[in-house]
């Protein structure tokens, strides 16, 4: 399948470099893209500078792909736990982290491409709230959809990088797109505190997952 992917950056990138990127991004070192050009424009914008939208064609045929939508939110969280730095305020959070890594880890490092949620700003805080026992498993899944942040494509392997073919780039005005980015995050936070963050009786919390030793395949982890 041939896709059109977009990457927001501070400058034009005609040839993404394999092995570059920050080690503590969501899925480790990778070239992160989206299928939504407006989302990439938001990623490209900063408060005090304009950015650049880069577009690529990308052939996925025969690639080894990990699509996290085919797994539970806890599988997604396990990958995030291996790459991002979490502020876990209580022993419960530390215990939850260890349990999820022990039982829900995936073989993601060898994949050519990873498709999954993007843990940006407040979205990352929701994952921390779940581990610290503040919100439930259901609420975490709902929170990931707030603000319509969308799905990201993490280009991981040398072979996958070779499939990226530059199409065009265009300038992104920070005066327009940075404000949209901030408004999206603000909207997500408001929705979160207006309803999702409220405790719901019967929901599955990290304490229950630990006490009942819930494993992959449990029907409650839909």
- Give yes or no for residue 68 having a pLDDT over 60: yes
Reported as a single tens digit per residue, the pLDDT across 5-64 is: 999 999 999 999 998 777 778 898 999 999 999 989 998 988 889 999 999 999 999 999
pLDDT of 47 reads: 83
Share of the chain above pLDDT 90, in %: 59
**What are residue 193's phi and psi, to 5 degrees?**
-75, -25
- Identify the residue with better confidence: 148 or 163: 163
Assigned domain for 171 exists = yes
- Give the separation between CA 154 and CA 151, rounded to whole angstroms: 10
pLDDT of 211 reads: 96
Q: Which domain covers residue 31, as residue numbers? A: 2-211
In terms of residues, how long is the chain? 222
- Give yes or no for residue 147 having a pLDDT over 60: no
Assigned domain for 218 exists = no
Assigned domain for 207 exists = yes
pLDDT of 195 reads: 63
Q: Among 54, 59, 53, which Cα is nearest to 14's?
A: 54
Q: State whether the Cα torsion 42-142-204-218 is positive or negative.
A: negative
State whether residue 10 is helix, strand or coil.
Answer: coil
- Could you tell me the strand order of the sheet in which 113-117 lies? 31-33, 151-155, 113-117, 65-67
User: How many separate domains does the chain show?
Assistant: 1
Over the chain, what is the mean pLDDT? 88
- Taking the CA of residue 60 as centre, how many other CA atoms within 13 Å lie in the half-sphere pointing to its CB? 16
- Give yes or no for residue 149 having a pLDDT over 70: no
Average pLDDT over residues 120-125: 67
Reported as a single tens digit per residue, the pLDDT across 151-163 is: 899 999 999 999 9
Assigned domain for 141 exists = yes
Average pLDDT over residues 56-73: 95
Is residue 115 within 8 A of residue 84, CB to CB? The reply is no
Reported as a single tens digit per residue, the pLDDT across 183-220 is: 877 777 777 667 665 666 778 999 999 999 999 999 99
Share of the chain above pLDDT 70, in %: 91
- Give yes or no for residue 148 having a pLDDT over 60: no
Assigned domain for 72 exists = yes
Is residue 69 within 8 A of residue 53, CB to CB? The reply is no
- Taking the CA of residue 118 as centre, how many other CA atoms within 13 Å lie in the half-sphere pointing to its CB? 20
Assigned domain for 121 exists = yes
Assigned domain for 151 exists = yes
- Give the separation between CA 56 and CA 63, rounded to whole angstroms: 17
- Give the separation between CA 125 and CA 140, rounded to whole angstroms: 10
């Amino acid at each position: 399948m041939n896709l059109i992917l977009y990457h927001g950056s501070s400058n034009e990138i005609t040839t993404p470099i394999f092995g570059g990127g920050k080690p503590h991004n969501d899925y480790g070192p990778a070239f992160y893209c989206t299928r939504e050009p407006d989302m990439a424009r938001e990623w490209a914008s900063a408060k005090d500078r304009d950015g650049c939208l880069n577009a690529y064609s990308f052939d996925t045929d025969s690639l080894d792909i990990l699509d996290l939508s085919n797994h539970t939110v806890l599988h997604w969280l396990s990958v995030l736990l291996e790459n991002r730095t979490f502020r876990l305020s209580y022993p419960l959070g530390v215990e939850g982290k260890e349990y999820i890594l022990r039982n829900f880890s995936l073989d993601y490092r060898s994949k050519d491409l990873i498709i999954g949620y993007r843990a940006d700003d407040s979205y990352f805080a929701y994952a921390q709230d779940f581990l610290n026992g503040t919100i439930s498993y259901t609420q975490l899944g709902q929170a990931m959809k707030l603000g319509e942040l969308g799905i990201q494509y993490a280009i991981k392997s040398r072979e996958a990088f070779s499939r990226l073919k530059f199409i065009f780039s265009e300038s992104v005005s920070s005066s327009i797109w940075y404000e949209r980015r901030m408004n999206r995050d603000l909207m997500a936070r408001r929705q979160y505190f207006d309803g999702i963050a409220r405790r719901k009786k019967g929901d599955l919390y990290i304490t229950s997952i630990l006490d009942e030793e819930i494993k992959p395949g449990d029907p409650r982890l839909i």
